[in-house]
Structure 1
Amino acid sequence: MNIQKPTPSNSVRITTLPNGLRVATDRMDSVETVSLGIWAGVGTRHETLEHNGVAHLLEHMAFKGTKRRNAREIAEEIESVGGLLNAYTGREQTAYYAKMLSADMALAIDVLADILQNSVYDEAELERERAVVLQEIGQAEDTPDDIIFDHFQEVAFPDQPMGWPTLGRAEIIGKLPRDVVAGYLESRYRPERMIVAAAGNIDHDRLVDLATRLLDRLPKGAEPGTETAAYRGGEHREERDLEQVNVVLGFSGVSYHDPDYYAAAVLSQLLGGGMSSRLFQEVREKRGLVYSIHTFSSSYSDAGLFGIYAGTGEKEAAEMMPVIIDEVLKVADTLNEEEVKRAAAQLKAGTLMSREGTSSRCEQLASQLLLYDRAIPAEEVVAKIEAVGTADIARIAKRIFASAPTLASLGPVAQVPSLDAVRRRLA
């Protein structure tokens, strides 16, 4: 058993069990609760095309009965002590987690261990949950400012796992057989790529003991093959009878391991991260062309996306796009120290505020171990944000906005400029 010493802040401890599973805790003495979960380093991008959505369906099925508990008992045992139980599927990670009073930590790890090692995948439950997932997909389709990002992702990364929808495709979910769902866990999950993470009023040694005893039968799947993400760009344009046009304009971004990761984050904040940002002030406040506008910098292990979302009226769409593009084109050459410091301050505050909650600290710890194989102290993150200067932001802005654009639009799109028109203005 390998044990990592506490970090300088003396709150994080990490132990590697003999089977390769890592147990990581971030102790917070001032709270009475614990957020605890099991993270697996697999997700949508590890699926095959014919089984797109299996990772998400598996996550749903984990709560639908084990050899020890039926679906109702799983829910009732956690809620009987006032706890919460949930899960999510991402492109590169899947998480099963709970939050409860610290005294009930053992129950939480027992339930999580049970659903990952003893699920029965009952056929009747599978059919019911299949219907639930299909409703979830339908709900996303009915939410324009949600589904637009799926369309954007698919056009940015066409014909590859990174572009597939995390929820899955209805025509595939509707017929995925039981053995494929169960087989995904057995073949893709492996303890070396899984983390038991907890934050709050937690006893690390006790959690290690519980994990050693309760998680000794985890699947021993192979290292999942990962197709390298290849950003290409393109256009998705969909006419719908809506009041608003939803538009996402994006570019190739940075990975988690890129030296300019923090510079891209500051650029995103400066350009469209708040009410004082350039896009909000110019497009909404000065011109009244949108109700909502914001930027995002999304990173993955080997790629990233930088994008701008705007919700606008049909008549305003034509005028809005050139204004956005002009702001994008001039940002590298018109930076000033004051706005850089303001954007960095916002990021620092967000980083430190997130440290006040057990759930965010638990998730950060698990994700850092899966991505970097180490826990990153908040002080280090803050120092890297503070080290970003105007030259760094100018450099990453020129790099990002020189990449091929991706344009996704949904709603009354007649007035949204074409991708070719966007390319010409960017040039």
Structure 2
Amino acid sequence: MGVEVSRLSNGLTVATEMLPGMESVALGVWVKSGARNERDDEHGMAHLLEHMAFKGTAQRSAFQIASEIENVGGEINAATSVETTAFYARVLSSDVPLAVDLLADILQNSTFDPEELEREQNVILQEIGAAHDTPDDIVFDHFTETAFRHQTLGRSILGTPETVMSFNSAQLHRFIQREYGADRMIIVAAGDVKHDEFVHEVENRFGGLRPHAQGGAVQYAQYVGGDFRENRDLMDAQIILGFEGRAYHVRDFYASQVLSMILGGGMSSRLFQEVREKRGLCYSVYAFHWGFSDTGIFGIHAATGQANLGELVPVIAGELQKIGDHILEEELDRARAQYRAGLIMAGESPSSRASQIARQLLLFGRPIPSQELMERLSALTVGRLTDLSQRLFCTKPTLAAIGPIGSLSSYESVAGVLSPPGSATHRIAV
């Protein structure tokens, strides 16, 4: 039957997909508001709000929220990203009304009790401390902070101890009033779900939601690149080398995704074979591409011991140069197969499928049929990927490193190797 979409009178979008053979439903509310929507004095508030949503409403205590969903064997959770926040549940199909009621309650009636707030602020302080003590996590925060310096897109989602501890209940209420409205929210269910029945449940509980969020557009992001290094007494060094990537909506977004797979998307990828298998320079290496609404970032992460660090980055840079010269047809075919398999496997998981539909509706305003995605992949050519790589790896690099990094190549030498004369400020054409 495919994805069915309805819009309530207040503008709220509701989508479902019946998945054959299921007896459960994954459902959730996706909000087009995340860490990027915070003001300068709100750093970390979107993430704190996600935590506080489960800490009590006018009708339910924190224990009642947890026990009601677990009494029927279900689960409920939330997640904050740079551009979205999601509140989701997984239940048996007969318990969908309860899950919808719980989600509606926490999003419309949370009290943000001061005592609960203080406890949760301390929990997040521990989370910030744990992230700082995990080099392979915190290096990504430093990477994005360097790539998008002094911008909301580059800030850590967790916030800082100072900002998190400064928030009060009134500020949380103002944030949700400003950022959460029907025009920014998508409610999706996938699994054993009937569309009309689900829309009826949502209408009953979300029909009174304010039609419009009050918050304005986010700050336009500008990739700047640069260098971050932190010497630490660790066994291994964590390195990320990155470049300006592609936004969701522009040409070559999917080409960038496929290029990351060819370069470092699995054990058969170029980086894994050359850097790890043939040379033994690291124990972990992979490439990634993150798209946002107005920009993107392409990166290579590697973890290695101090002895191999001096050779590692030059070898990675050499592979980036090689891929701009030649890509094999069989590499493109393999990357297409990986991408296609990932889409199909995600479609077989109710939770993954609900999230996929929500992202498509938030980003593109419509669900994108799998066949359309397959056609986009089929249209990619070796020539298009080599052209993209030649332009992409000439953008100003971002280098982030943590650990025993005394022998790491200088930023200037890495940038000089990757950028031909006169191209240091070259940007990818849209």
Fold-level match, TM-score > 0.5?
yes
**Which residue type is aligned with residue 369 of structure 2?**
P
Deviations for 1:256-314, whole angstroms, at most 9, x for unmatched residues?
01110111111000000000000000000000000000000000011000000000001
Alignment match of 2:278 (pick from 261, 280, 286): 286
Aligned equivalent of 2:307: 315
For the 8 Å contact 2:241–2:398, the answer to whether it is kept is: yes
Asked if 1:238 corresponds to 2:230, the answer is yes
Q: Residues of 2 paired with 1:191 and 1:350: CA distance?
A: 31
Q: What count of residue pairs does the alignment treat as equivalent?
A: 418
Query: 3-state DSSP class of the match of 1:316?
Result: helix
Query: 3-state DSSP class of the match of 2:209?
Result: coil
Aligned equivalent of 1:37: 28
Alignment match of 2:390 (pick from 395, 398, 403): 398
Deviations for 1:126-163, whole angstroms, at most 9, x for unmatched residues?
00011111111111111111111110000000011111
Coordinate RMSD, CA, aligned: 0.9
For the 8 Å contact 1:42–1:224, the answer to whether it is kept is: no
**Which residue type is aligned with residue 141 of structure 2?**
D
Gaps of 5+ in 1: 1-9
Q: Residues of 2 paired with 1:58 and 1:167: CA distance?
A: 11
So what's the TM-score if we normalise by structure 1? 0.97
For the 8 Å contact 2:114–2:168, the answer to whether it is kept is: no
Aligned equivalent of 2:220: 228
Asked if 1:189 corresponds to 2:183, the answer is no
Asked if 1:158 corresponds to 2:149, the answer is yes
Shift of 1:193: 0.9
Asked if 1:419 corresponds to 2:411, the answer is yes
Q: Which moved more, 1:51-60 or 1:378-387?
A: 378-387
Alignment match of 1:129 (pick from 108, 120, 132): 120
Q: Residues of 2 paired with 1:284 and 1:13: CA distance?
A: 46
**Which residue type is aligned with residue 280 of structure 2?**
G
For the 8 Å contact 1:117–1:217, the answer to whether it is kept is: no
**Which residue type is aligned with residue 329 of structure 1?**
Q
Q: Which moved more, 1:170-179 or 1:292-301?
A: 170-179
Aligned equivalent of 1:80: 71
Asked if 1:375 corresponds to 2:367, the answer is yes
Asked if 1:325 corresponds to 2:321, the answer is no
**Which residue type is aligned with residue 107 of structure 1?**
L
What aligned pairs does 1:326-341 form with structure 2 within 5 A after superposition?
Answer: 326-341=318-333
Gaps of 5+ in 2: 420-430
Alignment match of 1:253 (pick from 245, 268, 277): 245
Identity of aligned pairs, percent?
A: 47
Distance change in 2, residues 1:223/1:187 (3 Å): closer
So what's the TM-score if we normalise by structure 2? 0.96
Q: Residues of 1 paired with 2:280 and 2:288: CA distance?
A: 21
Q: Residues of 2 paired with 1:32 and 1:223: CA distance?
A: 39
Shift of 1:223: 4.1
Alignment match of 1:53 (pick from 44, 57, 73): 44
Q: Residues of 1 paired with 2:216 and 2:405: CA distance?
A: 40
Q: Residues of 1 paired with 2:222 and 2:61: CA distance?
A: 42
Alignment match of 1:169 (pick from 152, 160, 168): 160
Shift of 1:221: 2.7
